[in-house]
């Protein structure tokens, strides 16, 4: 049965904005029209005043299952993704135990099939136990559906291991996703040297800790003719490494997170890290890699705008509140991001003129789907009906107490944002709907849950 979403704003095939109408049938987009709407009897949802985008795709999330389900589960993480407008996510393998063996990877995908609201894909580790020494069975893991390989959360120190990893990944036609970190340089570090808490005795984390292995890896990727994806880029120096790799002919892509595009090292509170209040306030600003100074953030914004950085990924990293409030050297790295990613970037970059709306949608949907060969990423007849309706006009503050994620660890609490998703569809089914904006009749017609 064909059902129409009518009167939403869309990008036309030539990149212009227009009111349009989208027909869903059998989980697929059956038709896209501009001009007069379909007959009222055929309209299942009137999207007047809302934008209709291809649903977002996040290639970097941590759902903590197995082993740390007090932080997040695949079910709760997928609900957070749906609320944030994401139809597809890619899980990282640094669970407990890590997804480094076929039986573990298979079990994680089966759990996702049972409990997830969105399309969930997985990466597998590069090395056994993520120790940076012995390569996993990439061929077996690729056959099970691994979309790539990463030891995310840890760098790999040994160049011989990385060379072998690139060569094997090319043989199985999968990308290497790299958390670029030289642990000998970052050891014990928390914030970049420009952050105010460094003056209070917190150990610094130099920018070279990210860039040094990245320069090595682009050389190895070029030599192996392998696909290479750089995770959570945070410095201008790393952008130079990416440019070098491309000049050498390496197939290199890169992601950046919302927090690295919006916050700077100078934004970190200048508070005493040894007091309970100081720990509580600093915990949400501890992330890996650390927040960079303003000059680096400006470079990242320009790189996203001009395409040097291909895509946005959240690095959604939920933690329990008491864990983030530990002494800063023992507080875990990371923040949540799925439920706030698009509003944050629309408000901070699009509304201020740093980025076009079309480029933001491309970076959050089109490019990640294409780079990782995932469903979605486009609105066209024959494409999966993975779409999101977004309200760009109504402001709302970030309220972590309402998050669907188990994690509430965000430095953006209370920030007023525009661009909140109203409804998310996967294969034509409503998987999230704002109850104040989407009538029950529409939920019924789109199989909402």
- Same structural domain for residues 15 and 36? yes
pLDDT of residue 26: 93
- Reported as a single tens digit per residue, the pLDDT across 220-236 is 999 999 999 999 999 99
Specify the DSSP class assigned to residue 83. H
- Same structural domain for residues 37 and 87? no
Q: What are phi and psi of 129, to 5 degrees?
A: 60, 15
Give the separation between CA 163 and CA 220, rounded to whole angstroms. 6
User: In terms of C-beta density within 10 A (0-12 exposed, 13-18 middle, 19 or more buried), how is residue 415 classed?
Assistant: middle
In whole angstroms, how large is the CA radius of gyration of the chain?
A: 21
- Select from 371, 403, 428 the last residue of a domain: 371
7 is in an annotated binding site: no
Closest CA to 401 of 392, 389, 413: 413
Closest CA to 254 of 120, 122, 367: 367
pLDDT of residue 440: 85
- Reported as a single tens digit per residue, the pLDDT across 77-115 is 999 999 999 999 999 999 999 999 999 999 999 999 999
Domain containing residue 345? 56-371
- Reported as a single tens digit per residue, the pLDDT across 16-31 is 899 999 999 999 999 9
User: In terms of C-beta density within 10 A (0-12 exposed, 13-18 middle, 19 or more buried), how is residue 241 classed?
Assistant: buried
Give the separation between CA 57 and CA 71, rounded to whole angstroms. 22
Q: Give ∠ CA 237-243-246 in degrees, rounded to 5.
A: 150
Structure tokens at 49: 């005043």
- Same structural domain for residues 316 and 255? yes
Specify the DSSP class assigned to residue 384. B
232 is in an annotated binding site: yes
Confidence of residue 15 (pLDDT cuts 50, 70, 90): confident
**Whether 181 contacts 122, CB under 8 Å:** no
- Reported as a single tens digit per residue, the pLDDT across 154-195 is 999 999 999 999 999 999 999 999 999 999 999 999 999 999
Structure tokens at 215: 């320069």
- Same structural domain for residues 108 and 241? yes
| pLDDT (average), residues 203-222 | 98
Q: Cβ of 215: how many Cβ atoms within 10 Å? A: 17
Alpha helix (H) residue ranges in 23-98? 74-83
- Select from 323, 338, 371 the last residue of a domain: 371
Q: What are phi and psi of 251, to 5 degrees?
A: -85, 85
Please check the confidence at residue 12 and state whether its pLDDT lies above 90.
no
Residues belonging to the chain: 449
Structure tokens at 71: 């932080």
H-helix or E-strand containing 420? Answer: strand 420-426
Specify the 3-state DSSP secondary structure of 264. Answer: coil
Give the separation between CA 349 and CA 333, rounded to whole angstroms. 25
Please check the confidence at residue 448 and state whether its pLDDT lies above 70.
no
- Same structural domain for residues 345 and 399? no
Give the separation between CA 13 and CA 375, rounded to whole angstroms. 19
- Same structural domain for residues 152 and 36? no
409 is in an annotated binding site: no
pLDDT of residue 232: 99
Confidence of residue 132 (pLDDT cuts 50, 70, 90): very high
| pLDDT (average), residues 419-448 | 91
Please check the confidence at residue 117 and state whether its pLDDT lies above 80.
yes
| Residue 378 included in any domain | no
Instruction: Kindly report the average pLDDT of the chain as a whole number.
Output: 97
| Residue 376 included in any domain | no
Q: What is the dihedral of CA 243, 244, 247, 252, to 10 degrees?
A: -60
Confidence of residue 32 (pLDDT cuts 50, 70, 90): very high
- Same structural domain for residues 341 and 417? no
User: What is the percent of the chain with per-residue pLDDT over 70, rounded to a whole number?
Assistant: 100
- Select from 337, 371, 405 the last residue of a domain: 371
143 is in an annotated binding site: no
Per residue, what are the HEC states of 108-140? HHHHHHHHCCCEEEECECCEHHHCCCCECCHHH
User: What is the percent of the chain with per-residue pLDDT over 90, rounded to a whole number?
Assistant: 95
- Same structural domain for residues 290 and 434? no
Query: Which residues are identified as catalytic?
Result: 315
Specify the 3-state DSSP secondary structure of 312. Answer: strand
- Same structural domain for residues 348 and 401? no
Q: What's this model's pTM, rounded to 2 decimal places?
A: 0.97
| Residue 150 included in any domain | yes
Give the separation between CA 60 and CA 79, rounded to whole angstroms. 16
| pLDDT (average), residues 407-433 | 98
Please check the confidence at residue 122 and state whether its pLDDT lies above 90.
yes
Please check the confidence at residue 449 and state whether its pLDDT lies above 70.
no
Give the separation between CA 345 and CA 258, rounded to whole angstroms. 6
386 is in an annotated binding site: no
Give the separation between CA 446 and CA 12, rounded to whole angstroms. 24
Q: Report in angstroms the alpha-carbon separations of 420 from 79, 342, 357, 436.
A: 15, 7, 14, 13
Q: What are phi and psi of 219, to 5 degrees?
A: -65, -45
pLDDT of residue 320: 98
- Same structural domain for residues 281 and 424? no
Q: What are phi and psi of 142, to 5 degrees?
A: -65, -40
Please check the confidence at residue 439 and state whether its pLDDT lies above 90.
no
**Whether 187 contacts 204, CB under 8 Å:** no
| Residue 377 included in any domain | no
CATH number at residue 200: 3.20.20.140
319 is in an annotated binding site: yes
- Reported as a single tens digit per residue, the pLDDT across 340-352 is 999 999 999 999 9
- Same structural domain for residues 400 and 300? no
191 is in an annotated binding site: no
| Residue 177 included in any domain | yes
| Residue 418 included in any domain | yes
Give the separation between CA 257 and CA 335, rounded to whole angstroms. 11
CATH number at residue 389: 2.30.40.10
- Same structural domain for residues 423 and 319? no
Number of domains in the chain: 2
Alpha helix (H) residue ranges in 362-415? 367-371
| Residue 380 included in any domain | no
């Amino acid at each position: 049965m064909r059902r129409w979403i009518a009167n939403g704003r869309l990008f036309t095939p030539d990149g212009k904005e227009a009111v349009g109408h989208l027909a869903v049938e059998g989980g697929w987009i059956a038709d896209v029209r501009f001009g007069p709407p379909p007959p009222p009897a055929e309209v299942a949802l009137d999207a007047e005043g809302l934008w209709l985008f291809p649903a977002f795709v996040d290639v970097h999330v941590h759902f903590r299952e197995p082993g740390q389900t007090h932080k997040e589960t695949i079910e709760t993480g997928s609900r957070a993704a749906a609320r944030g407008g994401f139809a597809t996510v890619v899980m990282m393998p640094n669970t407990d135990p890590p997804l480094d063996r076929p039986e573990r990877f298979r079990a994680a995908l089966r759990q996702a099939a049972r409990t997830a609201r969105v399309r969930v894909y997985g990466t597998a580790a590069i090395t056994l136990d993520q120790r940076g020494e012995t390569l996993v069975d990439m061929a077996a893991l690729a056959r099970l559906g691994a979309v790539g390989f990463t030891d995310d959360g840890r760098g790999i120190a040994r160049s011989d291991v990385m060379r072998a990893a690139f060569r094997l990944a090319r043989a199985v036609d999968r990308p290497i996703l790299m958390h670029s970190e030289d642990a000998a340089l970052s050891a014990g570090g928390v914030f970049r040297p420009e952050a105010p808490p460094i003056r209070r005795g917190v150990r610094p984390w130099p920018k070279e800790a990210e860039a040094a292995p990245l320069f090595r890896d682009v050389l190895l990727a070029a030599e192996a003719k392998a696909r290479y994806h750089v995770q959570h880029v945070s410095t201008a120096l790393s952008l130079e490494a990416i440019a070098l790799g491309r000049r050498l002919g390496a197939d290199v892509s890169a992601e950046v997170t919302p927090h690295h595009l919006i916050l700077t090292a100078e934004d970190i509170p200048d508070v005493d890290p040894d007091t309970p209040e100081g720990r509580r306030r600093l915990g949400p600003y501890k992330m890996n890699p650390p927040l960079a100074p303003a000059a680096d953030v400006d470079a990242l914004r320009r790189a996203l705008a001009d395409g040097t950085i291909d895509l946005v990924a959240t690095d959604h990293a939920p933690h329990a509140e008491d864990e983030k409030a530990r002494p800063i050297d023992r507080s875990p790295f990371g923040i949540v991001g799925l439920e706030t990613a698009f509003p944050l970037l629309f408000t901070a970059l699009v509304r201020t003129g740093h980025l076009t709306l079309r480029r933001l949608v491309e970076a959050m949907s089109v490019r990640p789907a294409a780079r990782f060969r995932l469903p979605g990423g486009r609105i066209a007849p024959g494409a999966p009906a993975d779409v999101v309706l977004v309200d760009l006009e109504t402001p709302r503050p970030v309220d972590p107490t309402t998050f669907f994620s188990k994690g509430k660890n965000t430095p953006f609490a209370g920030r007023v944002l525009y661009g909140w998703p109203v409804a998310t569809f996967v294969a034509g089914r409503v998987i999230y709907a704002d109850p104040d904006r989407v009538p029950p009749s529409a939920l019924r017609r789109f199989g909402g849950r």
